[in-house]
């Protein structure tokens, strides 16, 4: 049964028992990293990608348009409401500017060129979903001074420390909702199977969530980060069907299969969520976060989608693209 998050002391608990990669596992991982032959970072430059900003002056005919910035960063336009999700324009998904996973390609548009945004959604506090420099720049923009910030329990403290006004932040527990843009869009946090923390000392101290975005005519599921769990079926039954289901396919490994889906897990989750509408693969193609080839997630996702008859929706980074019912999209920018 879907329910609010539970805690053991200061630590939030997953909806089902879960093991994450701990510091002690480095002795198992290190030999694999040292001998890994996969192309985890593109051997040839990727991009550049450029967003046609003028497109934002015209509303999407379908009512739903998405600009995939890369990884899990997206600008979603849904029936007149704009939501910026997990914005990371930072050069690295890391606490340090000189080391850590580096972007494969530059962001396709400047933060200063973003159209007006009604809400910013931050699913959890990991560096590939919450970029400090990005938040600092967004918080200082004149166009963002009336924007609502929505996040999971406990993450608001980081947003505040990066310059976001506390009066504009709403933290959500699982199954709780908030309305934005004068009630035009409901945003609901739902359980996911993952973890949080911006250091080894504060793991699980803040909450991690998936989110449902529901407007008058569309419903979108943003899976953020999650491993497989039986609750996907409950989420689909309660909040679906979804016009667009965004699920992570990258950064997967046998040692992390409880906290990441990978392509096969994403297909399984999509079917459990109802298997309706279009599936958008996210959380891939921008950062080296695992041992697999950087193209492997989408290559395997295409295979699984064909095997299972899943309608994929995978646009080119930076291109504002309408979501049209029943119309698949398989960009091959990564080739």
Cα dihedral sign, 10-13-18-21: negative
pLDDT by residue (tens digit) across 238-256? 999 999 999 999 999 877 8
Cα separations (Å) of 249 from 69, 113, 264, 278, 314? 16, 29, 8, 15, 12
Task: Determine the pLDDT at residue 20.
Answer: 85
Q: Is the pLDDT assigned to residue 217 strictly greater than 60?
A: yes
Return the closest-CA partner of residue 134 out of 171, 152, 109.
109
| HSE-CB for 307 with a 13 A CA cutoff | 11
Token pair for residue 160? Answer: 């505040």
Residue with tokens 């039986």: 230
126 Rama sector, left if φ>0, alpha if ψ -120 to 50, beta otherwise: beta
> Which of 10-24, 49-63, 78-92, 282-296 shows the lowest mean pLDDT across its residues?
10-24
Q: Is the pLDDT assigned to residue 33 strictly greater than 90?
A: no
Q: What DSSP line would sit under 175-222, residue for residue? A: T-EEEETTTTEEEEEE--S----SSTTSTTSS---EEEEE-SS-EEEE
CA Rg value for the chain: 18
Q: Is the pLDDT assigned to residue 24 strictly greater than 60?
A: no
Q: In what order do the strands lie in the sheet with 148-152?
A: 169-172, 148-152, 119-122, 81-85, 73-78, 64-70, 321-322
- Higher-confidence residue of 49 and 256: namely 49
Provide the 10 A C-beta neighbour count for residue 178.
15
Query: Exposed, middle or buried, 80 (CB in 10 Å: 0-12/13-18/19+)?
Result: middle
Query: Exposed, middle or buried, 116 (CB in 10 Å: 0-12/13-18/19+)?
Result: exposed
DSSP summary character for residue 290: S
Q: Mean pLDDT throughout 122-148?
A: 97
Measured CA to CA, the distance from residue 77 to residue 63 in angstroms comes to: 7
Contact by Cβ (8 Å): 105, 70: yes
Task: Determine the pLDDT at residue 300.
Answer: 98
Q: Mean pLDDT throughout 8-29?
A: 82
Q: Mean pLDDT throughout 194-211?
A: 95
Measured CA to CA, the distance from residue 168 to residue 149 in angstroms comes to: 6
In this prediction, residue 27 has a pLDDT band, given cuts at 50, 70 and 90, of: low
- Higher-confidence residue of 244 and 36: namely 244
For residue 313, whether the previous peptide bond is cis, meaning omega lies within 30 degrees of 0, is no
Which residues are within 8 A (CB) of 219 and not within 5 positions of it... i.e. 6 or more apart? 212, 213, 239, 240, 241, 242, 243
Pairing of strands 278-282, 329-330: unpaired
Q: Is the pLDDT assigned to residue 25 strictly greater than 70?
A: no
DSSP summary character for residue 142: G
| HSE-CB for 10 with a 13 A CA cutoff | 7
pLDDT by residue (tens digit) across 160-181? 999 999 999 999 999 999 999 9
Q: Mean pLDDT throughout 36-40?
A: 90
pLDDT by residue (tens digit) across 306-332? 999 999 999 999 999 999 999 999 999
DSSP summary character for residue 168: G
Percent of the chain with pLDDT over 70: 97
Task: Determine the pLDDT at residue 184.
Answer: 98
Task: Determine the pLDDT at residue 1.
Answer: 81
Pairing of strands 313-314, 278-282: unpaired
Q: Mean pLDDT throughout 58-78?
A: 98
In this prediction, residue 30 has a pLDDT band, given cuts at 50, 70 and 90, of: low
Measure the N-to-C terminal CA separation of the chain; round to a whole number of Å. 42
CA 122 to chain centre: 8
Q: Is the pLDDT assigned to residue 159 strictly greater than 70?
A: yes
In this prediction, residue 261 has a pLDDT band, given cuts at 50, 70 and 90, of: very high
Measured CA to CA, the distance from residue 267 to residue 279 in angstroms comes to: 9
Helix (H, G, I), strand (E, B) or coil at 289: coil
Q: Which domains does the chain have, with CATH numbers?
A: 60-326 (3.60.15.10)
Contact by Cβ (8 Å): 122, 150: yes
Measured CA to CA, the distance from residue 168 to residue 150 in angstroms comes to: 8
């Amino acid at each position: 049964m879907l329910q609010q998050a539970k805690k053991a002391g200061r630590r939030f608990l997953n909806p089902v028992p879960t093991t994450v990669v701990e510091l002690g596992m480095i002795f198992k991982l290190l030999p694999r990293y040292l001998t890994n032959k996969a192309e985890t970072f593109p051997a040839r430059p990727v991009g550049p990608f450029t967003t046609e900003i003028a497109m934002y002056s015209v509303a999407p005919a379908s009512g739903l348009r998405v600009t995939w910035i890369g990884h899990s960063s997206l600008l979603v336009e849904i029936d007149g409401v704009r939501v910026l999700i997990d914005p990371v324009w930072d050069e690295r998904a890391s606490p340090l500017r000189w080391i850590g996973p580096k972007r494969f390609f530059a962001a396709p548009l400047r933060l200063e060129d973003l159209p007006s945004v009604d809400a910013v959604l931050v699913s959890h506090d990991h560096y590939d979903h919450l970029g400090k420099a990005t938040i600092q720049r967004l918080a200082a923009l004149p166009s963002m001074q009336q924007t609502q910030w929505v996040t999971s329990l406990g993450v608001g403290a980081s947003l505040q420390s990066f310059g976001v006004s506390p009066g504009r932040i709403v933290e959500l527990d699982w199954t709780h909702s908030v309305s934005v843009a004068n009630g035009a869009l409901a945003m609901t946090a739902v359980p996911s199977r993952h973890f949080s923390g911006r250091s080894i000392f504060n793991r699980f101290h803040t909450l991690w969530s998936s989110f449902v975005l529901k407007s008058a005519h569309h419903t979108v599921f943003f899976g953020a980060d999650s491993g497989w769990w039986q609750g996907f079926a409950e989420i689909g039954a309660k909040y679906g069907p979804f016009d667009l289901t965004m699920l992570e396919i990258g950064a997967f490994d046998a040692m992390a299969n409880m906290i990441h889906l990978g392509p096969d897990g994403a297909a399984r989750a999509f079917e459990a969520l109802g298997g309706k509408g279009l599936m958008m693969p996210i959380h891939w193609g921008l950062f080296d976060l695992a041992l697999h080839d950087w193209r492997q997630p989408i290559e395997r996702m295409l295979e699984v989608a064909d095997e299972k008859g899943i309608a994929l929706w995978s646009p080119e980074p930076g291109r504002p693209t309408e979501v049209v019912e029943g119309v698949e999209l398989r960009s091959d920018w990564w080739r």
